[in-house]
Amino acid sequence: MNHQSSLTAKEAVDSIESAVNTESHLRRAHAIGVAFDATFQPTGAAVPWTTAAHLQQTEVPAVVRFSHSSPSRKSNEQLNPVKGMAVRFQLFDGTFTNLTMANIPIFISKTPDSFIRLIQAFDSSSTWSQRIDALIHDTEYKAFGSIIKELQPFRNFESLHYYSIHAYYLRNEELQRQAVRFEWQPLPQNDDGNVNNSMENELIHKVKLDQSIRFRLLIQFAEPGDAIDDPTIAWPDDREKIEAGILTLKSLRADNAESFIFDPTVTIEGIECSDDPILHFRSKAYAESAKRRGVR
């Protein structure tokens, strides 16, 4: 198992800070967002594949943060189409596990080094046309075209479909292992078609009115030959999926979950990380970002 990169987490975050105007107290990616307390009710459909506590039969509390991907608070919502949905399942024994997703099914690069080279190319000295040209003509970022095609026009956080991007393994009582990817699918009633102000304020308004903003947790099963450790490759659409549970937003969090680190490698018994190098590097980068904004 090799999660090594020639790049350190410190160098990665330095590159982000160099390319974008960041603020010391904000996350170095997905800086601006809004957080809610929620509940997750599992369907039990995942029980044959995993012993993970939150995927059995009992409802568990959760914390959900929706965010814009930019490291800057000044980013335009419409010019920043990648959005995040991070969920922490709070288990009754005091442990927790995270699902950190985005509204794109695949990632733009398969190694940390190539991703940071991309960030460095997007520094303030380059124009938007130069940035897009670099992506289109660089074979290292061939997933870029697929990502652009998958990005749909959006009105709000609650109508988007979110993907784990990385693969994980479910492990059951017989110690059998199954590679999977996770998705949050919005329920149709989440989107009333109206946007009167910012995406954050629109969602806060709906939750305060108890409009039952809900998402289905879908689990997609890999088959032999599917790419497990490469986040730039999507699995075929015909792969089996099950509905593992329903997430319901309950109330706005006063602390906005600012002290939370939604590290995507934090799992519990019954769920294991794949060997995807981007997945494991994200853990180190999240820790470095948290350190710089004073979170321990």
d(CA 85, CA 162): 7
The pLDDT value recorded for residue 276 is: 95
For residue 71, pLDDT over 60 is answered with no
The model's pLDDT over 165-216, given as tens digits with 9 standing for 90+, comes to 999 999 999 999 999 999 999 998 887 666 556 788 889 889 988 888 999 9
* pLDDT averaged over every residue in the chain: 83
pTM: 0.86
The token duo for 113 is 């080094």
The pLDDT value recorded for residue 202 is: 86
The pLDDT value recorded for residue 210 is: 83
Give the residue-averaged pLDDT of 217-246. 96
Domain ranges of the chain: 9-292
The model's pLDDT over 45-56, given as tens digits with 9 standing for 90+, comes to 999 999 999 999
Query: Is 93 exposed, middle or buried (CB count within 10 Å of its CB: 0-12, 13-18, 19+)?
Result: exposed
Topology of 9-292 in CATH? Catalase HpII,  Chain A, domain 1 (2.40.180)
For residue 218, pLDDT over 90 is answered with yes
DSSP string, 166-181: S-EEEE-TT--EEEEE
